[in-house]
Structure 1
């Protein structure tokens, strides 16, 4: 498979790939590739009957086992997410939230799910004022909001699933009891999170082996999580939100001086929502509307569609500069407008319109980096997974605790950490995202989907907090404008702009800074500095990608996974 550009323009007709000779391979490559781009880590995975791409190989295998046992993509995605909550608790778990986009083959339609939780009803703005806080703390009891993931599982299963929750959670329960070998990157993040939240009650008992976080290859067990999963499998959704689990969470949070209560858990509900899209060079890119940040990717693409990116080239100062300036514009709107739509009138249709993009594009200088950008008028770790089945269903699912392992609040003997997503609320009066009781916070985690002529083409996502809209846009640009295939689009060096406004403020006043991965040339870096950009190195901040592409002509799936993390794409 060559690229979305060729796939789309030739109705996914496969074309031959030119051989890249050793002389053209970068000296930084570990080996010479025979085909494809020299920076690619491997070729795409191709299979007929099903495909799964997750951020941990054991979770990918669980998904494939479900597919092979007759389950569909929705079943497999739930099973994989549960498995990731065990094997990758450094990025996800049932203490966090979930968003999904589902292509349902039976109705030939996309469905969006917002399974994010709300703030505690008893916590008010006055409490933060009394404490003299101008920001919500990163850790501890105050940033905790209701975890929505489990309700998300049952919403997905009841509408689209074919297997029981007992069947879907059985693999994770077995692994939690018997243990699994910890993979390299997750071992690293375990150690990092111990430094952040290791002193909170329950961390040592739940996530260490004799007081030390598990090392690479060490067998780790989580019997408490196994017991929690068993209660959910047999007792259903209400076992989590209205049973002993909810009571344990409420009692623990009260002991810790928190506000999340049993009543908050019992009142939770998720929402089916309509995905929104923008057409980029003839192809419909789909995201979910706020309280998430997905439409920022659409805003970036709308502005960049006005430029000849292919003519600029990937490794060029002109492209990087134009991309960064478009990102700045989108993120100022993100800071001002993106919030819980039940509390604000958010002009989504206007923000993702072509007319608005043309207006905003006029603010971009081709030669000078913007140091201040106003919003228009009228960091965290995550997991992303995608699954496709032989029936034609595809799922794009993302789930997170927010800052790695979340708040540090580990309810007694439950085996998981509660999220700290409430940290994203602003404490400024008049802000769209200001803290209010029973309100959903601004969210960074976003699934994505691409269709062509109302047919499914690609489900994808890129983990990585506020970097996600930038990386979504780059994946699309890499494939459509720069002719990369599914794996190459994720392996290609990435651009990250940081330091502009956050959901707590709506004006960028210092221009921020750019971090470029090592594949960009020194010439490009020098020219960017001449345009007034500040360059700064970053390590591990460029996100984690998984994707599945459907080839209509040959009726096969292509899978790709992130080379920067422990993930795997596999099919059968």
Structure 2
């Protein structure tokens, strides 16, 4: 139990159903959907659609998504890959011949074909009750009538790295009066409202064919992009087999590559050989082991993870006990490693949604435009902000993650699912681009090794190794920071909070749900 004399929030507890998101309007929309007879998948898609309007810097229908789903909370965990692919004309030779040394972070060449809308429609057809029109109704209302800009959204909107003025359409919609909205302002997106109406009426064809696709592809082509209407029409997500590991008796499930979820599993496998629970949960020794395990796992990530439809990834070898033992063997509890390659891991703007309904259908759902406002390219008639996932590709023809026609890039957004004895225990996720494997491991070890409830585990101060520096949030104790420095780490305060997460814990014996949402964002968990 937390100390009620300190700032913080209690976890949310209920019996029937629970939703946790990073925005109050999104959580409310999910709860309304559940109380009107929808199930967890209906609620998750509805929540994601609302956030595509009210958190435009983080996500949108021009983005991608991944989903882990456990029907009735029992049996196999299903995985759905809703990430987009490179255009058919996007060969590495084209980019090299045209003078590119890397994929840009903004503009048309940063854009892969968005996969979110196809995924939403498919998942609702396969697992929902209400359909896409019902799921989009609240989002259409907010886009048309306006929504109040919340504080973290406003904080992200004014990020100096996001220059919406470079795109005249983006500037018109997202810099009203020539400046970003501030907290408390009302913002409207009427073009997006009309696009959502078309999708509500026509389903996925309303986005990938006809006027909406023509507007988006036309804009990309005018800017020099390689996308075609055929690329959009051919977009199709697919079910995959999750990858997983066992940690202290719990099953931890992640998306397979092209997703980076395997990175968190590598970290857990390494840490499983240390008695974390005997350490100070906020001390330097625990933080150091987490950092070193992460550095090793990210090396494997950057060297090997890619779209398995194009290049084989040695998943079983990476998840083997022998590999974990090799990695663990090079960690010195008293000294930072010096020979590992430099990590340069960008943050991202993402929304993560956790929902469990009365039938215990458990959904772990993540949707993103990657960088703040993605590529910065917006459809002039549709109001669709396009993601910039293409920037994750390499232009080294020998690298597994090299760009190729129809290939998916290495993807950072990763939903998680924890199970035990064949039943779902917790859909969970931690946002934040490259930080996410660290965030998953931090959340899980806080709960499993140190007995924290989901809210305590999410609230706890975080560290992240990036660009040869340990980023330590202000909540990390001074003595822990000094202990990291004594071990050879450079430590600095991050410019932004590290990530943001949600989780819903299922207690099958008591028949209860416990929800948590990150105070680093605007959201909350609600249940009934």
- 1:107 is displaced (CA, Å) by 6.5
* Structure 2 residue 381 is matched with structure 1 residue 425: no
* Structure 2 residue 45 is matched with structure 1 residue 78: yes
Tell me, in whole angstroms, the C-alpha distance in 2 between the residues paired with 1:382 and 1:441.
17
Tell me, in whole angstroms, the C-alpha distance in 2 between the residues paired with 1:192 and 1:217.
17
Equivalent in 365, 370, 385 of residue 402 of structure 1: 370
Contact 2:92 2:397 in 1 (8 A): no
* Structure 2 residue 403 is matched with structure 1 residue 435: yes
- 1:192 is displaced (CA, Å) by 2.2
Tell me the equivalent position of 2:483. 527
- 1:129 is displaced (CA, Å) by 1.7
Deviation digits for residues 288-315 of structure 1 (CA, Å, limit 9, x no counterpart): 1110100110100111010011112112
Map 1:93-132 to 2 at 5 A. 93-105=60-72, 108-132=75-99
Contact 1:201 1:409 in 2 (8 A): no
Q: Which moved more, 1:152-161 or 1:310-319?
A: 310-319
Tell me the equivalent position of 1:90. 57
Residue segments in structure 1 that go unaligned for 5+ positions in a row: 1-16, 21-32, 500-511
Q: Secondary structure at the match of 2:226?
A: coil
- 1:195 is displaced (CA, Å) by 4.4
Contact 1:139 1:197 in 2 (8 A): no
Tell me the equivalent position of 1:10. none
Equivalent in 471, 480, 493 of residue 448 of structure 2: 480
- 1:427 is displaced (CA, Å) by 1.0
Tell me the equivalent position of 1:357. 324
- 1:537 is displaced (CA, Å) by 1.4
Contact 2:15 2:511 in 1 (8 A): yes
Tell me, in whole angstroms, the C-alpha distance in 1 between the residues paired with 2:417 and 2:160.
31
Q: Which moved more, 1:216-225 or 1:198-207?
A: 198-207
- 1:541 is displaced (CA, Å) by 4.2
Tell me, in whole angstroms, the C-alpha distance in 2 between the residues paired with 1:201 and 1:117.
25
Contact 2:356 2:362 in 1 (8 A): yes
* Structure 2 residue 509 is matched with structure 1 residue 544: no
Equivalent in 262, 266, 276 of residue 295 of structure 1: 262
Tell me the equivalent position of 1:27. none
Tell me the equivalent position of 2:202. 235
Tell me the equivalent position of 2:223. 256
Tell me, in whole angstroms, the C-alpha distance in 1 between the residues paired with 2:93 and 2:315.
31
Tell me the equivalent position of 2:27. 60
Contact 2:73 2:362 in 1 (8 A): no
* Structure 2 residue 270 is matched with structure 1 residue 314: no
Tell me, in whole angstroms, the C-alpha distance in 1 between the residues paired with 2:497 and 2:165.
23
Q: Which moved more, 1:215-224 or 1:519-528?
A: 519-528
Map 1:158-557 to 2 at 5 A. 158-192=125-159, 195-373=162-340, 379-499=347-467, 512-557=468-513
Contact 1:90 1:193 in 2 (8 A): no
Q: Which moved more, 1:197-206 or 1:484-493?
A: 197-206
Call closer, same or farther: CA 1:358–1:445 in 2, change over 3 Å.
same
Tell me, in whole angstroms, the C-alpha distance in 1 between the residues paired with 2:84 and 2:458.
30
- 1:419 is displaced (CA, Å) by 0.7
Contact 1:54 1:60 in 2 (8 A): yes
* Structure 2 residue 108 is matched with structure 1 residue 141: yes
Contact 2:162 2:373 in 1 (8 A): no
- 1:165 is displaced (CA, Å) by 1.4
Contact 1:183 1:217 in 2 (8 A): yes
Tell me, in whole angstroms, the C-alpha distance in 2 between the residues paired with 1:544 and 1:196.
23
- 1:77 is displaced (CA, Å) by 0.5
Tell me, in whole angstroms, the C-alpha distance in 2 between the residues paired with 1:387 and 1:550.
11
- 1:208 is displaced (CA, Å) by 3.0
Residue segments in structure 2 that go unaligned for 5+ positions in a row: none
Tell me, in whole angstroms, the C-alpha distance in 2 between the residues paired with 1:414 and 1:337.
37
Contact 1:154 1:237 in 2 (8 A): yes
Q: Which moved more, 1:360-369 or 1:190-199?
A: 190-199
Call closer, same or farther: CA 1:329–1:77 in 2, change over 3 Å.
same
Contact 2:73 2:424 in 1 (8 A): no
Contact 1:52 1:388 in 2 (8 A): yes
Contact 1:249 1:262 in 2 (8 A): no
- 1:109 is displaced (CA, Å) by 2.8
Tell me, in whole angstroms, the C-alpha distance in 1 between the residues paired with 2:520 and 2:73.
36
Q: Secondary structure at the match of 2:177?
A: coil
Task: Report the TM-score when normalising by structure 2.
Answer: 0.96
Q: Secondary structure at the match of 1:65?
A: helix
- 1:198 is displaced (CA, Å) by 2.1
